[in-house]
Amino acid sequence: MQVNKDRLVKTLQSLVRIPSFQDSLKVSKWVKDEMGGIGFNVISDNDGNLIAEIGKGPGFILNAHLDTVGAGDGWKHGPFSGTIENGRLYGRGSSDCKAGVASMIEIARVLKKESIKKRVVFTFTAFEEGYPLVKNGVYRILPKLKNIDKGLVLEPTYSNGALGIYVGCRGSARYQIDIIGERGHSSTPERYDNPIYKFPKLLEELRSFPKGTMNVGILGKEISDAMTVTEIWAKEGGNVIPAKCTITIDRRSLPTEKPGEPDKKIRALCEKALGKKFAMENKSSVQGYLYEDPEFLEMCKQAVISAGCKTGADFLMARIDASILYNFAGIGALKLGPGTKEQAHVIDEYCDLQGLQKATEAVLGVIRRWDGS
């Protein structure tokens, strides 16, 4: 049995029409009903995380997240319209990551009609987009994932006829830094220690902080870490010197960094710029990962080529849930998915429907090769 493109597109259209920013319960119920209708027994929890499986023995996991970022303003096509125009389906989450969800549902339909030798585990998860580790859907379902060795995370990797495969990603951590000063009246600024004036020195240290690097042997390329300020606020009134100036630092760490090592680097940087007049809180933190399995990578490449796409392996600068599967459960997962990769989080987000079909065929091809069927 092959992928049914019309059914696949209609599934994605239905998913896009269900808003799932910060609340995935409605779209989760829809997916649970669809999978149940196909004939799967679906396990769910209060957050909307779903697990379904087929077959017996060693497991292969497929994962896609149900939640999206906010829609924002300025859309030509409605963010929840599912409008199809010139081979593209528009809507928030159409590429990131409801295309992956649609693909998994279509693959479930196909596999239900076939006889497989091993076991495929479908996981649809919530709270991926910017949430702390303890809230993340994949992290929450880890205790239920048994005897799984490999898998794919169906985040967007399609672009202009090419379907990329990612073997790892950098870690992600966000730190809240409170620069401590003295609150006072703005008419006598000389009396008080204004924390805003300390920020430039911290910014200078951030900009000059040396980058770490590592070599990704399977790719033959070098990657580096990254760090930047993403938020700053110190609002107590137009005529008030604030007691503190708060910033957010976004840190993208290398897989080689040990747990807690990025924290030490940020703290040392703050101490150099601010002395003891700061408070630091790690708001969220997930390690990066690198999964070097040449045989599995080649299996994925051959499946992509058979689906009619160009391909190549790469390393992701952002973070994906494959890092949680690898670091906390030892599951080696690669990123390979049907969404259009340049479309994540943008206004007028769309999914290239040719890519949707070909990537779904490629993922199905990976499963068949892994299963030996």
Residue 199 pLDDT:
96
* 96-139 pLDDT per residue, tens: 999 999 999 999 999 999 999 999 999 999 999 988 899 999 99
Q: Residue 62's domain is classified under what CATH number?
A: 3.40.630.10
* Residue 260 binned pLDDT confidence (cut-offs 50, 70, 90): confident
Residue 135 pLDDT:
94
Q: Which two tokens stand for residue 206?
A: 């951030």
CB 57 within 8 A of CB 148: no
**Domain boundary pick from 284, 305, 321:** 284
How many domains does the chain divide into?
Answer: 2
Q: Would you say residue 373 has pLDDT above 80?
A: no
Residue 179 pLDDT:
98
- Residues 6 or more apart from 327 whose CB is under 8 A from it? 286, 287, 289
Statement to judge: residues 16 and 146 lie in one domain? yes
Statement to judge: residues 70 and 189 lie in one domain? no
Q: Report the relative pairing of strands 148-153 and 332-335 from DSSP bridges.
A: parallel
Statement to judge: residues 292 and 165 lie in one domain? yes
Statement to judge: residues 235 and 189 lie in one domain? yes
Q: Which residue among the candidates 128, 129, 348, 349 is catalytic per the annotation? A: 128
Statement to judge: residues 59 and 114 lie in one domain? yes
Q: Which residue among the candidates 34, 47, 53, 67 is catalytic per the annotation? A: 67
Active site (annotated) includes residue 67: yes
Active site (annotated) includes residue 190: no
Q: Which domain holds residue 49?
A: 5-169+288-371
